[in-house]
């Protein structure tokens, strides 16, 4: 029994000495099995504490997420949205909802054709999470129009979203965001 308590003591001391990254998680979800829209909104709302949110999203046609971003901005979150300029011209794009909104800053990469587009699907909340994956912000990409495996005759897209809480990975992603955000060739949308 004494060895058991000594083992617990040593384990407790080691856990306290380990870096925080040991406790980091990486969670991956797949659509349409999971509703990535709800999962994204859950994580986006965590930006209320950090007061900053960095987004690079290729396609953005999701009305519910656009409304959530407006809500976050009204609550004081500074949002930096980076887009592809041609994708913003798509008829169903939701960027127009965010233009001229307080606390929302939008830039776009000049789309140079197939080989030179802004194709990321990420968001970063400093110190909290880095989201990446293949899922754009559209209901069909996120499985939001397909609930409980019941998609009906038209299937939704197969995509994924990964949420990374490792502080080092978040820092690396944020550093890359600053790099693309500060390109001289970017278009200032507002």
Helix (H) or strand (E) holding 6: helix 2-17
pLDDT of residue 12: 46
CA distance 156 to 141: 7
Which overall architecture, per CATH, does domain 27-188 show?
A: 2-Layer Sandwich (3.30)
Q: For the chain, 190 residues long, give each residue's pLDDT as a single digit of tens.
A: 555 444 544 544 444 444 444 566 899 999 888 899 999 999 999 999 999 999 999 999 999 999 999 999 999 999 999 999 999 999 999 999 999 999 999 999 998 877 899 999 999 999 999 999 999 999 888 888 765 555 554 667 899 999 999 999 999 999 999 999 999 999 999 8
CA distance 171 to 167: 6
Q: What is the pLDDT of residues 73-105, one digit of tens each?
A: 999 999 999 999 999 999 999 999 999 999 999
- Cβ pair 79, 69 in contact under 8 A: yes
Residue written as token pair 């829209």 = 37
């Amino acid at each position: 029994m004494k060895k058991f308590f000594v083992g617990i003591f040593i384990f407790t001391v080691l856990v306290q000495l380990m870096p925080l990254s040991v406790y980091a998680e990486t969670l991956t979800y797949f659509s349409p099995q999971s509703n990535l829209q709800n999962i994204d909104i859950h994580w986006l709302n965590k930006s209320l504490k950090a007061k900053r949110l960095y987004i690079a999203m290729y396609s953005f046609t999701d009305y519910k997420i656009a409304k959530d971003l407006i809500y976050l901005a009204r609550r004081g979150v500074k949002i930096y949205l980076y887009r592809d300029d041609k994708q913003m011209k798509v008829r169903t794009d939701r960027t127009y909802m965010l233009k001229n909104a307080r606390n929302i800053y939008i830039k776009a990469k000049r789309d140079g054709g197939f080989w030179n587009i802004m194709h990321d699907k990420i968001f970063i909340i400093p110190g909290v999470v880095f989201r990446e994956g293949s899922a754009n912000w559209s209901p069909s990409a996120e499985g939001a129009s397909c609930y409980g495996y019941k998609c009906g005759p038209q299937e939704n897209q197969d995509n994924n979203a990964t949420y990374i809480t490792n502080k080092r990975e978040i820092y690396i992603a944020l550093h890359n965001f600053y790099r693309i955000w500060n390109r001289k060739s970017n278009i200032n949308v507002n």
